[in-house]
């Protein structure tokens, strides 16, 4: 039972990070019908920005601001940095290709992903960067927390999960309850018709990239707070994020959250009960099963092809 609770907590933490990444995919796909391969690398850059700002603020062993402010500041820095990056990627790598055949922006996105990964390696090297959150206030983030039976839910995990859910709620609010969100939904539904109704499509797309990249930045920081980050995490994180988006139904916001959590649980339980080595295989099987039996995902609408 204890193992089960522990694995559930692990799955929830992992899943909320996947969900944040998946939301970025889903948003961009919903509006542009484009699979943004570079999204995983934006996530990676986010975790590096967090690390850099953390060092500027004195590192974890001797921070110049209180802990809560530290975490808020590095998250904000990652949000801002990633948004700028996302907008730049959209403006220079995708916008010129908006009317090209479908395969063109995909290849361009591959190039962007490769470029970002190697640029980061050129500038910061391949060695892992550890946030070293354990030395923050003598390990308070790990030692304090809530006890569930014999298992302790540490503060750090609570922070990760709560931040992820707050972000998702904010996003949901933004998309369903504001004018910009309405414009986004309209663009996603039918771009040309939305443009004829006077919606500025370019602005909506930029806004979408800002949202998606900001979430990737948050995910990057949340990831970095728990495990050391390096320049290659973007590739696998991107794959998992997209898988989560597909499972939930691409284009659907609650779907991406559900997909991320399912993926997190699946991975965590496989690692706990089967083997750590084969969790990728299991995730792949889930993806294939969904692709075959329910390609529209859990919450997606079936795509009707019009001629």
Partner 1 sequence: MTDSTPHGSHTPADGPAVGQDEWVARHGEHQLLRGGRLGSAEARLRLVPWWAWLILFLAVFSLLPVVESSGYVRRVAFDTVLYMLLALGLNIVVGWGGLLDLGYVALYGVGAYTYAFVASGQFGVHLPTLLAVLVTVVVGAFVGFLLGLPSRRLTGDYLAIVTLFFLQLFQTLMTNADNVFGHDLTGGPNGILNVDPFHLFGHDLAVQHQGVFAVSYFYVALAVFAVVFVALRFVNFSRTGRAWRSLREDPLAAEAMGMPVNRLKLLSFSFGAAVAALTGSLFAALNASVFPLTFYFILLIVIYTMVILGGSGSQAGVVLGALIVGPLLELLRDPGKARILFYAALVGGVLFAFRRSRTTAIVSVGTIVFGFVMHVLASAHSASWVAGEKAGGAAGAVAHWVVVPAHLASWIPPTTYIGLLTLALLLTLIDRRVRLVLLVPTLYLAAFVWENVMLASPETMRYIVLGVILIGLMILRPNGLLGERRVEII
**Residue 255 CB, nearest distance to partner 1 (Å)?**
15
**Residue 116 CB, nearest distance to partner 1 (Å)?**
8
Cα separation, 14 vs 302, in Å, equals 28
Q: Does 123 bind partner 1 (CB under 8 A)?
A: yes
- By CB under 8 A, the residues from 167 to 196 that bind partner 1 are none
Neighbours of 12 (CB within 10 A): 18
Which of 22, 141, 214, 246 binds partner 1 (CB under 8 A)? It is 246
Burial call 178-217: b when 16+ CB within 10 Å, e when fewer: eeebebbebbbeebeebeeeebebeebbbbbbbbbbbbbb
Are the C-beta atoms of 46 and 78 separated by less than 8 Å? yes
Range in contact with partner 1 (rule: CB under 8 A) among 13-21, 61-69, 137-145, 242-250: 242-250
Q: Does 299 bind partner 1 (CB under 8 A)?
A: no
Q: Does 81 bind partner 1 (CB under 8 A)?
A: no
Are the C-beta atoms of 259 and 21 separated by less than 8 Å? no
Q: Does 87 bind partner 1 (CB under 8 A)?
A: no
Q: Does 252 bind partner 1 (CB under 8 A)?
A: no
Are the C-beta atoms of 205 and 187 separated by less than 8 Å? yes
Range in contact with partner 1 (rule: CB under 8 A) among 101-109, 134-142, 189-197, 256-264: 101-109
Which of 111, 144, 182, 274 binds partner 1 (CB under 8 A)? It is 111
Burial of 254 (0-12, 13-18, 19+ CB in 10 A): middle
Cα separation, 19 vs 34, in Å, equals 18
Q: Which residues bind partner 1 (CB under 8 A)?
A: 29, 33-35, 88, 91-93, 96-97, 100-108, 110-112, 114-115, 118-119, 121-124, 235-236, 239, 242-243, 246, 277-278, 280-281, 284, 287-288, 291-292, 295, 305, 307
């Amino acid at each position: 039972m204890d193992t089960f609770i522990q694995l559930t907590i692990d799955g929830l933490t992992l899943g909320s990070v996947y969900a944040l990444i998946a939301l970025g995919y889903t948003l961009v796909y919903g509006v542009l019908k484009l699979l943004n391969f570079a999204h995983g690398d934006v996530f990676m850059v986010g975790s590096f920005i967090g690390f850099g700002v953390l060092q500027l603020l004195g590192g974890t062993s001797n921070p110049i601001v209180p802990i809560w402010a530290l975490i808020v500041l590095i998250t904000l820095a990652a949000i801002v940095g990633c948004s700028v990056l996302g907008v730049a990627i959209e403006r220079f790598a995708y916008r010129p290709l908006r009317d090209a055949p479908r395969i063109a922006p995909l290849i361009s996105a591959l190039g962007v992903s490769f470029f970002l990964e190697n640029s980061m390696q050129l500038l910061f090297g391949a060695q892992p960067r550890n946030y070293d959150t354990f030395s923050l206030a003598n390990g308070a983030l790990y030692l304090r927390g809530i006890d569930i039976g014999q298992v302790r839910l540490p503060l750090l995990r609570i922070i990760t999960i709560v931040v992820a859910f707050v972000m998702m709620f904010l996003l949901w609010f933004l998309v369903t309850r504001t004018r910009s969100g309405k414009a986004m939904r309209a663009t996603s539904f039918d771009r040309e018709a939305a443009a004829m109704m006077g919606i500025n499509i370019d602005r909506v797309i930029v806004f979408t990239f800002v949202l998606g990249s900001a979430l990737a930045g948050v995910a990057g920081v949340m990831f970095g707070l728990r495990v050391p980050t390096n320049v290659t995490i973007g590739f696998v994180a991107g794959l998992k994020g997209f898988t989560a988006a597909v499972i939930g139904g691409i284009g659907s916001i609650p779907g991406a959250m559900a997909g991320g959590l399912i993926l997190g649980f699946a991975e965590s339980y496989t690692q706990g009960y089967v083997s750590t080595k084969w969790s990728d295989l299991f995730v792949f099987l889930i993806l294939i099963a969904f692709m075959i039996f329910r390609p529209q995902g859990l919450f997606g609408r079936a795509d009707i092809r019009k001629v």
